[in-house]
């Protein structure tokens, strides 16, 4: 069923702030079933079935909260991210293949395909994300938190500091996360190529960022107002109170955001039953699909390339449409999104001021390619 996503121009305005923190269990279950059915329809009994369902994520679009008109618009799976040596200075790799991250990239393809200039999402169109397990990073770490000592001393005794809500980064080609300790906000190309560990922010941190900057990213923010998640449903290993804290409580020092941006608080839910799939061992394969695609695409998460190596992934950066204006590099076009960049700077500063760590970006060289018209 297709809702007919329509962008209507309604002038500048902001989405309302949602103060409710949980989602009705029936609705969360419906989101899960829709994603699972779409996954089964796409993968069927193929060999991919066992290789690809770990780290499953999907995005469902509804009009209001009417599940009868719901549609899965993006779907992905995966639990790994790229090895630094495979980074592409042409942006031809997908750096982060964790399911929720590639599902967002698949959603971007959906939004681009329905884009009309300077329009906004019609009110009442809502996006809901399903994730099979708690997002990696702070949301997956249950109490008691990791303890460590730092160098500060109080009355002759070391002060114990908890990495509570701290930014975390993914392990290259593996699973799990580590607290971000870098002081520099940007990694260097030559450093990574010489074997420095590539820092990819955890899914908890990225979802928290979407709650400030939206899902649409910098480039699409030239054309549409921020697109926020209305709800997040987590299949297993979750504690919604903990998830709420990790996603929502880092925004206290944000200050007032540029017009149209706000602190989004998605409704959170876990499934009412334990009906979720068995977790299999991690695979290097990651799939993605956007409404309208005939079949899934399979990526090797360690290399960030399609498994068949025939062409770059449809999710990689150069797939973003260019513009008819003066030719720009991908990085320049992102920088030109002034409100988005202001909101992003506020987000990074708020984290740093709260002592939660530095948001680390990939080397700038990977965004130096020209956008094609």
Residues that bind Zn ion (CB under 5 A): 98, 136, 203
Q: Are strands 66-77 and 285-290 parallel, antiparallel or unpaired?
A: antiparallel
Three-state DSSP at 144 gives coil
| Cβ atoms 297, 85 nearer than 8 A | no
Least spacing, CB of residue 152 vs Zn ion, in Å = 31
Residue number, 132 or 269, with CB nearest to Zn ion: 132
| CB of 70 or CB of 136, closer to Zn ion | 136
Catalytic residue among 10, 71, 85, 100: 100
From the CB of 100, what's the least distance to Zn ion, in Å?
Answer: 6
For 78, the token pair is: 């995966």
Contact 81, 97 (CB under 8 A): yes
CB nearer to Zn ion: pick between 202 and 231: 202
Torsion angles phi and psi, residue 188, rounded to 5: -100, 145
Q: Which residues contact 207 (CB under 8 A, 6 or more apart)?
A: 100, 135, 139, 229, 232, 247
Least Cα distance to 66 among 143, 125, 122, 115 occurs for 125
Query: What are 158's strand-pairing partners?
Result: 153
Strands 229-236 and 125-133, sheet pairing: parallel
Is the torsion defined by CA of 244, 246, 249, 250 positive or negative? Answer: negative
Task: Tell me how far, at minimum, the Cβ of 171 lies from Zn ion, in Å.
Answer: 11
SS3 assignment, position 233: strand
Nearer to Zn ion, 77 or 221 (CB): 77
The minimum distance between CB 86 and Zn ion, in angstroms, equals: 18
Q: What is the smallest separation between the CB atom of 87 and Zn ion, expressed in angstroms?
A: 19
Smallest distance, Å, CB 321 to Zn ion?
A: 27
Question: What percent of the chain is helix, strand and coil (3-state, nearest 5)?
Answer: 30, 25, 50
CB nearer Zn ion, residue 62 or residue 270: 270
Omega prior to 144 cis, within 30 of 0: yes
What's the Cα-to-Cα distance from 287 to each of 20, 99, 171, 304, 318, rounded to whole Å?
A: 33, 8, 20, 11, 19
Tell me how far, at minimum, the Cβ of 264 lies from Zn ion, in Å. Answer: 19
Residue 276's CB is within 10 A of a number of other CB atoms, namely 17
For residue 2, give every residue at least 6 positions away whose Cβ sits within 8 Å of its Cβ, in sequence order, or none. Answer: 71, 291
Residue placing its CB nearer to Zn ion in the complex, 134 or 221: 134
Of 23 and 136, the one with the shorter C-beta distance to Zn ion is 136
Torsional sign, CA 235, 240, 243, 247: positive
100 is catalytic: yes
Question: Cα(346)–Cα(362) distance, rounded to whole angstroms?
Answer: 19
Say if CB 82 and CB 101 are below 8 A apart.
no
Instruction: Indicate the residue among 204 and 346 with the shorter CB distance to Zn ion.
Output: 204
Q: Tell me the closest approach of the beta carbon of residue 136 to Zn ion, in angstroms.
A: 3
- What is the set of active-site residues? 100
């Amino acid at each position: 069923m297709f809702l007919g996503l329509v962008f209507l121009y309604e002038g500048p305005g902001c989405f309302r702030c949602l103060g409710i923190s949980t989602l009705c269990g029936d609705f969360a279950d419906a989101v899960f079933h829709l994603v699972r059915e779409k996954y089964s329809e796409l993968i069927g009994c193929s060999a991919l079935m066992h290789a690809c369902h770990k780290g499953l994520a999907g995005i469902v679009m509804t009009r209001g909260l009417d599940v009868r008109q719901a549609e899965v618009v993006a779907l992905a799976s995966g639990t790994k991210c790229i090895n630094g040596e495979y980074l592409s200075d042409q942006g031809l790799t997908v750096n982060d293949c964790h399911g929720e991250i590639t599902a967002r990239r698949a959603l971007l393809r959906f939004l681009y395909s329905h884009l009309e200039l300077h329009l906004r999402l019609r009110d009442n169109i809502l996006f809901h994300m399903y994730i099979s397990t708690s997002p990696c990073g702070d949301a997956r770490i249950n109490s008691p938190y990791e303890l460590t000592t730092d160098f500060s001393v109080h009355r002759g005794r070391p002060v114990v500091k908890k990495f509570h809500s701290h930014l975390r980064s993914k392990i290259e080609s593996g699973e799990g996360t580590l607290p971000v300790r870098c002081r520099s906000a940007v990694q260097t190309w030559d450093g990574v190529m010489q074997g420095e560990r590539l820092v990819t922010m955890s899914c908890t941190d990225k979802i928290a960022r979407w709650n400030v900057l939206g899902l649409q990213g910098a480039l699409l923010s030239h054309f549409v107002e921020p697109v926020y998640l209305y709800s997040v449903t987590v299949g297993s290993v979750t504690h919604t109170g903990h998830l709420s804290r990790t996603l929502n409580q880092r925004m206290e020092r944000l200050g007032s955001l540029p017009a149209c941006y706000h602190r989004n608080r998605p409704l959170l839910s876990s499934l009412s039953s334990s009906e979720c799939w068995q977790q299999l061992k991690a695979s290097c394969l990651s799939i993605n699909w956007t409404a309208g695609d005939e079949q899934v695409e399979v990526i090797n998460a360690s290399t960030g390339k399609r498994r068949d190596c025939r062409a770059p992934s449809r999710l990689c950066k150069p797939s973003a449409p260019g513009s008819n204006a003066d030719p720009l590099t991908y990085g320049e076009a992102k920088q030109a999104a002034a409100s988005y960049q202001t909101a992003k700077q506020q987000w990074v500063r708020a984290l740093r001021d709260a002592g939660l760590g530095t948001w680390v970006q990939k080397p700038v060289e990977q965004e130096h390619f020209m956008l094609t018209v």
